Chains A and B, each alone.
Chain A
């Protein structure tokens, strides 16, 4: 087997050195009643060529561009990824290296992640960003836990327009320690209803997502004011960071922690994972932040270099009192995002974000002209909700059979929103695709 270089001579001579008769003898300290009694019941090994065929068959049983037109967002977005990024990500010195605990041999990863932290902080308008988390949902859970630690309060208010799966993850994380999550309802216009938090003074944080699950841009200034009135931290989450190439970033709106999903930044969707959790905050709370941090320093000869720093917050030193249990994070995805952001540049990001906005506005207006209702009246980015007439599910199923996914039915997540569909448009959809969709859904 090509990954197992030992020949039978190698094995024989090494067994002699070790003083064992056979490979089985190496395990003599393991009691019999712990052993596998039979052969493992797994498929017989495939050659590389058989493996290629098998995986290609699986790949072909999936609906993806260009043969399919998938108008889904909801936390995972189809964006073009430059070949240069994919190519650079194949450099095995990045791929096959470990966490940079030995900085002298890992300056490539360390400088790249320092750059990633900087670009992320600038994108979100914050003072400091971490080296990555698993995804937007766990980043939000960590943000809530951090606010609870910092404020020593046990309650958080979370908008019902934060992605339903993010809220579920937050519940899972906060439940065992008995922390309370209060859910904020939404207004008719598609934004969060902040009325219920007025007068509360026991909140560790108030969290919203912007653009929210309906694609609507929240009034972040109002949220920030309301949050700070309660004495809690203002946490702004997001699932589509490209929005900040166009919209005011949450840092400029007084957010204390900004966290969310970075998959849009050059990471393939890959059925939802691996993703990229982005986490940023203020320097004054940095010692309470979860996640790895890379810092700049100098070596013995005064040359600039980078190291993992503030490690005393982390599990390998602080153990049960760590700010998080995170160890392996999503470093290669962070690297991918940095490569993407540097390829796009500041100018390119603004243009791409504007193009995304314009394409989804085009679809919105075309659907309106064709008689559809778009119930939420506030500005959106990439995603929006449309109401299709009753009985649309037959059309929806029919379109599926042709590889067209006409949005995400919202009734599973918001039972009162029957016949509401969340549609997503990015730069990957042409005008012809959008016109075709309008024809299909209104026929």
Chain B
């Protein structure tokens, strides 16, 4: 597993303390897990995602991500309704490892309360939090 200084943290997203990221895309928000999460999990073998149309409140479990020897729950950083899921992850779960902020995106939601984005950490604040772990 890598040192924090070796990991990449995208600039155009905000971070939740359990390592998901959220990107504001105008009328929708895209969500995934970050480089720290994929590095901790190791080779990802399966991602379980919700259905389009499912609704979640902030902090709800919206899916799971599996490596060979571990399962981690995914908690939604902002509440909303699922507009799209990344179907490529079914055939290629390794996208989460290789390209966590772009090709490895997981779900797109219509946010219930866009202000919840402000409560998420900025890149710098998140990196500080990781260093303290």
Contacts and interface: CB of A to CB of B under 8 A. Distances in A.
Contacts of A287: 46
A312 interface: yes
Contacts of B66: 312
A317 B46 contact: no
Interface core residue of A287, A311, A312, A318 (most chain B CB under 10 Å): A312
A311 B69 CA distance: 7
A92 to B, nearest CB: 30
Contacts of A317: 69-71
Interface in B67-89: 67-71
Nearest to B69: A317
Contacts of B68: 311-312
Contacts of B46: 287, 312
Nearest to B65: A312
Contacts of B71: 312, 317-318
Interface in B42-71: 45-46, 66-71
Nearest to A318: B71
Q: Is the interface of B mostly helix, strand, loop or mixed?
A: strand
A70 to B, nearest CB: 48
B68 to A, nearest CB: 7
Contacts of A311: 68-69
B71 to A, nearest CB: 5
A317 B69 CA distance: 7
Nearest to A321: B71
A378 to B, nearest CB: 44
A127 to B, nearest CB: 18
A441 B132 CA distance: 84
Interface string A309-350: 001100001100000000000000000000000000000000
B59 to A, nearest CB: 18
Interface string A404-416: 0000000000000
A312 B66 CA distance: 7
A14 B46 CA distance: 49
Interface in B100-114: none
A287 B45 CA distance: 12
Nearest to B68: A311
A288 to B, nearest CB: 11
A147 to B, nearest CB: 19
Interface string B102-132: 0000000000000000000000000000000
Interface string B23-46: 000000000000000000000011
A184 B51 CA distance: 35
A318 B45 CA distance: 15
In the A-B complex, the 5 residue pairs with the closest CB atoms: A312-B66, A312-B71, A318-B71, A317-B71, A317-B70
Interface of B: 45-46, 66-71
Given A311-B69, A312-B67, A312-B70, 12 more contacts: A287-B46, A311-B68, A312-B45, A312-B46, A312-B66, A312-B68, A312-B69, A312-B71, A317-B69, A317-B70, A317-B71, A318-B71
15 contacts: A287-B46, A311-B68, A311-B69, A312-B45, A312-B46, A312-B66, A312-B67, A312-B68, A312-B69, A312-B70, A312-B71, A317-B69, A317-B70, A317-B71, A318-B71
